[in-house]
Amino acid sequence: VIVATVGHVDHGKTALVRALTGVDTDRLPEEKARGMSIELGFAYRAARGGAIVGFVDVPGHERFVPTMLAGVSGIRHALVVLAADDGPMPQTREHLAILDLLGVRSATLVITKIDRAAAARVAEVEAEARSLLAGAGLSDCAVHRVCAPRGDGLEALWTHLEALAGGDSLPAPRGHFRLAADRSFTLPGVGLVVTGIAFAGSIALGERVAVCPGGARARVRGLHAQNRPARSAQAGERCALNLAGTEGRHVAVRRGDWIVAEALNAPSARIDVRLRTLREAPALRPGERVHVHHGAKETTGRVVPLQAPRFQLLLDEPIAALWGDRLVLRDWSARRTCAGGVVLDPFPPARGRSRPQRLEALGALESADAAQALRGLLAAQAEGVDLARFALARNLTARERERVFGAVGMVRLGTAEEALGIAPARWAGARERLLGCVEASHREHPESWGPDEGELRRALGREAAPAVFATRIRTLLEEGALERHGTRLHRPGYRPVLSAQDLALWQRIEPLLAAGGVRPPPVGHLAATLEMTPPATESFLRRVAEFGFVAAVADNRFYSPSALAALARAACALADEHDDGRFSAAEFRDRTGIGRNVTIKVLEYFDRCGLTRRAGERRRVLARPEQVFGEAPALESPRKSAVPGGAPGLQIR
């Protein structure tokens, strides 16, 4: 078990830890000179039965409350130290308020310096202290009266702590590993050592971790748990990790950083929380600047009210917060603790933070039961729930995630990494509207291969965000409820109807286009081959382009969807070859062998349909080619690239 001392300056915290463990934790010359703790102190003592009691000794001076906060975050038990002569003082109250805000619900009251006060005074101080403790959610504490220099009461206190350690078996760890680093130093011949309390999960020698928010990667080369060498350690234990940078890279860690499993490396600067303002503190004003303490980290930010008691914190730097983490807020002068609370959502949406739907979602996030919270979110969020984010925020491992997701009746759309959960009734409704819209388009435009994604989304009144809409379309394509022809979407078995005359003409043009592959003949050549006038040829091609048979890439050049798909894949391959994922028009021309002018037109066409985006002279790829153009054969064999589901299936009106 890890216990921390708390209490006003000079009340005998360090003397108590020294009397119990033999360790003087005031090691700094300045601490010695001033007779005052400045830094955190650490000491351990083995209990009968083998359990280790770890002590964190915190400074009591009001200037060092931030250090005190770093010391008590993650502890399981507090020793509330109170001098019998002084009685309760300002930091007695402030430290108790902090324990309360951090949710520490187990403490022992230790009345020190009993040699300096009469028995009646000691009894009076104890009564006062009990009422303060009760006010901080710590009623029914054991009380011990000690005089550290003489050793009075220490036996009984130690026996009490041994019983506590013996009865305190750590719960089976859950979630991925995370540890709040409160110290880091370099030992000669060993390297970087980071210490702190593990908040979740477990860690073993050789495992890889990330430093959050910095993002550096490291491997655990050595490990101590509760001050003893260990092969593994788990949540609730105080650990020392010897970290080695991976790939020979240097790793630096500062107090306040978190050492986390690589899956948890997701720092965030915008966090939705439920806050409780201390009774004696003024109410938080909208936009008020505050100091925010999380684990051993101190940062600054602003508070934005959502709907009391819920607030959004806009931090000046990202932190490694997850759902359920405790935070303590101190006012801008850093002179008093004003509020504290718990993280509801470490990844709130960028927009609409106070919309009714969002407030309902925040209400659902209050639930400690992940499955119940997810059910609430599914009910609140019409678009669905980003399941990867949800699992990350709740620190669910793959197994825990499957158990929670399995317990919730929902439809899962998209890939495992980008899964979207949606309530079954909602999905059924969305699916019906989507397919109904495609069918209506088939009825109204029998010559067309169907609407493209943009038209479809507009026709449905933009009922879902583009990414969500794309996931829905992908799901319908995968389940075969929709098929793709170039950029057009149609129901399976559907074929556009051309007039007999148009069909006959199309059947003559289609092989000419296919033969050209990625270099289809210009309109003039087609017209000559067909013995038509160029304007008549162009107007026919424009007409069938409307329906998705070809795409008008340039004035005199029409491409089949399969040729465009082949060019799109070439663009993606080129982008992949560059570290920055960008390619130039010249590179694209050289790769595809299409002419200079056509290259520009093709790339502009790709920009228009959302495949690429231009930034200066280079372009990057925004979507996978098959998302925009469907599947099609490779660039090397343009001869085979017939229009998918093309001419043979056409019906004659």
Ligand X SMILES: Nc1nc2c(ncn2[C@@H]2O[C@H](COP(=O)(O)OP(=O)(O)OP(=O)(O)O)[C@@H](O)[C@H]2O)c(=O)[nH]1
Applying CB under 6 A, the residues found at the interface with ligand X are 9-15, 35-37, 59-61, 112-113, 115-116, 147-149
Q: Which of 399, 397, 395, 427 is nearest to 414 (CA)?
A: 427
Binding site for Mg ion (CB under 5 A): 13-14, 37
Q: Which option in Mg ion, ligand X, none does residue 189 bind, with CB closer than 5 to 8 A by kind?
A: none
Q: Which option in Mg ion, ligand X, none does residue 116 bind, with CB closer than 5 to 8 A by kind?
A: ligand X
CA angle 244, 249, 252 (to 5 degrees): 65
Q: Which option in Mg ion, ligand X, none does residue 56 bind, with CB closer than 5 to 8 A by kind?
A: none
Query: For residues 307 and 421, what is the distance between their CA atoms, to the nearest angstrom?
Result: 26
For residue 16, the minimal CB distance to Mg ion (Å) is 9
Q: Which residue lies nearer to Mg ion by CB, 29 or 189? A: 29
Name 131's Cβ contacts closer than 8 Å, sequence gap at least 6: none
Amino acid at 384: G
Query: For residues 378 and 409, what is the distance between their CA atoms, to the nearest angstrom?
Result: 10
CA distances from 27 to 30, 40, 69, 79 (A): 8, 10, 20, 21
Within 460-550, where are the H helices?
466-478, 500-516, 523-530, 534-546
**514 φ, ψ to 5°?**
-60, -40
Q: Which option in Mg ion, ligand X, none does residue 12 bind, with CB closer than 5 to 8 A by kind?
A: ligand X
CA distances from 493 to 436, 480, 490, 645, 651 (A): 15, 11, 8, 10, 11
For residue 14, the minimal CB distance to ligand X (Å) is 3
For residue 65, the minimal CB distance to ligand X (Å) is 11
Q: Which residue lies nearer to Mg ion by CB, 37 or 560? A: 37
Q: Which of 234, 239, 226, 241 is nearest to 200 (CA)?
A: 234
For residue 51, the minimal CB distance to ligand X (Å) is 25
Q: Which option in ligand X, Mg ion, none does residue 548 bind, with CB closer than 5 to 8 A by kind?
A: none
Measured from each CB, the residue nearest to ligand X is 60
For residue 351, the minimal CB distance to ligand X (Å) is 47
Q: Which option in ligand X, Mg ion, none does residue 115 bind, with CB closer than 5 to 8 A by kind?
A: ligand X
Q: Which option in ligand X, Mg ion, none does residue 97 bind, with CB closer than 5 to 8 A by kind?
A: none
Q: Which option in Mg ion, ligand X, none does residue 112 bind, with CB closer than 5 to 8 A by kind?
A: ligand X
Residue 522, token pair as written in the block: 């210009």
Q: Which residue lies nearer to ligand X by CB, 13 or 330? A: 13
For residue 331, the minimal CB distance to ligand X (Å) is 22
For residue 282, the minimal CB distance to Mg ion (Å) is 31
Q: Which helix (H) or strand (E) holds 166?
A: helix 154-166
Residue 535, token pair as written in the block: 């304007």
Q: Which residue lies nearer to ligand X by CB, 13 or 401? A: 13
Q: Which residue lies nearer to ligand X by CB, 60 or 236? A: 60
Q: Which residue lies nearer to ligand X by CB, 337 or 475? A: 337
Query: For residues 107 and 80, what is the distance between their CA atoms, to the nearest angstrom?
Result: 7
Q: Which residue lies nearer to ligand X by CB, 84 or 241? A: 84
Q: Which residue lies nearer to ligand X by CB, 30 or 577? A: 30
